[in-house]
Amino acid sequence: MTLSQWRQDARHDWWRGATIYQIYPRSFMDANGDGIGDLPGITARLDHVASLGVDAIWVSPFFTSPMDDFGYDVSDYRGVDPMFGTLDDFRALVDRAHELGLRVIIDQVLSHSSDRHPWFQESRRDRTNARADWYVWADPRPDGNPPNNWMAAFGGRAWTFDARRRQYYLHNFLPSQPDLNFHHPEVQQAQLDNLRFWLDLGVDGFRLDVVNFYFHDRRLEDNPPMSRERIQPGNPQSYQFPQHTISQPENLAFLERLRALLDEYPGATTVGEIAGNDQLPTMAAYTQGDRRLHMAYTFDLLGSTGDATELHDVLARFATLGDGTWPCWALSNHDVERSATRWGEHRALLALTVLCSLRGSLCLYQGEELGLPEAELAYEDLQDPFGINLWPEVKGRDGCRTPMVWEDRSNGGFCPEAVRPWLPVFERHLTLAVARQNADPDSLLARVRELLQLRGGSEVLRQGEQALIEPASLPDDVFGVIRTLGERRLLCLAHLGRAGTARIDLDGLLAGIAGWQPLDLPGMDLPALEGTEWCLEPGQAAWFEPR
């Protein structure tokens, strides 16, 4: 099938209610035996991804980069870093994914580049060159200090002095990741042109890294201090509220330009990462209507521990923001502790069952289908600059980035046994390897496949509206939503407590429905009916349809 045929046949709104599988290339599969995952490795393992029943893959950065931040510092927006393969390898990946019915979403890191990008090399040369204003430069204060108090995510000031220009440049992350100046129209156009390059190669959309970081406050005013209760003592950036560094109003106009580009490629989609503090209102503004992002996600559920009240409160806050927004919910990704550890390893299926009940699109992180817990690493094994700089109060992101385990043997089948992988394979992961779970019809992997098939075949879950059930209407520690599509109803409940049977009389939860019957959920016992009350045990989820 040609690219034009693929796009013509594809549903243009396929992303609504879709399940997206995130692949972190360095850790997915090593095809050339150097201990680092690569694009041919991804292609070789796409059958596993397709077997899950997901709709798309999101591939984290594989672009040319010095790898100071493992690909989130791009030195060539149109090149494949040799450690991952070639542009032809990427074309082969896209072709194979499309053959399997998988759409391909790739990361785009637009807000900042590597300091080795030719744009920055030219910009820092002097103050008069053609790209002198393509990055955020500012004069020192009279005493030589940076122009304001802005802090970087990885520790220290967000400004580095450049002796050639005798100015500071802004970097919200590492000093080797200078921020581009999106107030400059040529910068905006250059990044849009880079997006078009990948769309022409056949990608089906973009995951936009820190999408609310594109613009800064031109006045460079100091950020105000953060309220004491929200400070994370091990992270100096958390001491200030990023009022002037992110989520600036000019961002909305650029997102409309970006959406106009995507609309030229029917079926192409965007999912934005919203970072910062007050994330949900930003998420709503960025996805409102059909002129900005298709969908976005925040870190609100990426820190979830499976507490019913906390989960309800996040979704309740989101519900107040309007029906025109479309979220992409995730419990895990390459930046946070794995959900199996936060929720409890024996509750990995419960976590995904709750996730599958929510309105919106979903994102699974590689290994989540296996129930992989967070890996424990020694300091000397760390690669992540975030963890290295802030150790031990902040242990960094390496614990969720260790290699995927395909087989129950040394190095987990990720790379040859005689090769040292870029991060060590966590010994406890080996018993959860793909091959081992494939051989067990009662494994978590088997249950996740059944669960995703159930979700994918339900228009109520993929497209339906959502009403939260107020905690006061449910027993303690029970979370519930009602999904609606036309006349169809689905009631989703989960006992997220650690002890005690929850007894629930469903009559009266929804007007006009006098009786409910439970569906057979993968890996979950059917709830018991005692009189007029359904009984849920701790860790049990149940979905009900009207009789």
* pLDDT given for residue 10 in this prediction: 54
* pLDDT given for residue 201 in this prediction: 97
| Three-point CA angle 177, 183, 186, nearest 5° | 85
The predicted-structure confidence for 394-417, as pLDDT tens digits, reads as follows 788 999 999 999 999 999 999 999
pLDDT surpasses 70 at 175: yes
Identify the residue whose tokens are 């031990």. Answer: 392
CA dist., res. 216 & res. 451, Å (int): 43
pLDDT surpasses 50 at 497: yes
pLDDT surpasses 90 at 425: yes
Coil, strand, or helix at residue 342? Answer: helix
Across the range 518-527, mean pLDDT stands at 96
What confidence tier does 320 reach under pLDDT thresholds 50, 70, 90? Answer: confident
What confidence tier does 543 reach under pLDDT thresholds 50, 70, 90? Answer: very high
Find out whether the peptide bond into 25 is cis, omega within 30 degrees of 0: no
CA dist., res. 192 & res. 378, Å (int): 41
pLDDT surpasses 80 at 9: no
- Amino acid (one-letter) located at 93: L
Provide the annotated active-site residues. 209, 264
What confidence tier does 363 reach under pLDDT thresholds 50, 70, 90? Answer: very high
Among the residue ranges 2-6, 169-173, 408-412, 499-503, the one predicted with the least confidence is 2-6
Across the range 169-184, mean pLDDT stands at 97
pLDDT surpasses 70 at 502: yes
Annotate 194-225 with b (16+ C-beta within 10 A) or e (fewer): bbeebbeebbbbbbbbbbbbbbbbeebeebee
Across the range 51-57, mean pLDDT stands at 98
pLDDT surpasses 70 at 7: no
The predicted-structure confidence for 97-122, as pLDDT tens digits, reads as follows 999 999 999 999 999 999 999 999 99
Percent pLDDT > 70 in the chain is 98
Alpha helices in 201-269 (DSSP H): 250-263
Percent pLDDT > 90 in the chain is 86
Residue 323 and residue 291 in contact, taking contact as beta carbons nearer than 8 Å: no
What confidence tier does 1 reach under pLDDT thresholds 50, 70, 90? Answer: very low
Across the range 188-198, mean pLDDT stands at 98
Among the residue ranges 1-10, 60-69, 107-116, the one predicted with the least confidence is 1-10
Among the residue ranges 459-463, 479-483, 497-501, 504-508, the one predicted with the least confidence is 504-508
H/E segment holding residue 27: helix 25-28
What confidence tier does 280 reach under pLDDT thresholds 50, 70, 90? Answer: confident
Question: pTM of the predicted model, to two decimals?
Answer: 0.94
* pLDDT given for residue 6 in this prediction: 44
Mean confidence (pLDDT) of the chain: 94
CB under 8 A, 24+ apart: contacts of 158-167: 158/245, 162/124, 164/124, 164/125, 164/126, 165/124, 165/126, 165/127, 165/137, 166/139, 166/140, 167/127, 167/137, 167/138, 167/139, 167/140
pLDDT surpasses 70 at 3: no
Terminal CA-to-CA distance of the chain, rounded, Å?
A: 44
* pLDDT given for residue 514 in this prediction: 75
What confidence tier does 5 reach under pLDDT thresholds 50, 70, 90? Answer: very low
CA dist., res. 397 & res. 336, Å (int): 6
Residue 224 and residue 240 in contact, taking contact as beta carbons nearer than 8 Å: yes
Domains by residue range for the chain, with CATH? 15-111+185-221+247-455 (3.20.20.80), 463-545 (2.60.40.1180)
What phi and psi, each to the nearest 5 degrees, are found at residue 456?
-65, -30
The predicted-structure confidence for 150-159, as pLDDT tens digits, reads as follows 999 988 999 9
* pLDDT given for residue 2 in this prediction: 45
Q: What is the DSSP letter of 36?
A: S
Identify the residue whose tokens are 């997901």. Answer: 54
* pLDDT given for residue 232 in this prediction: 84
CA-to-CA separations, 349 to 359, 366, 371, 494, in angstroms, rounded: 18, 15, 8, 11
pLDDT surpasses 50 at 27: yes
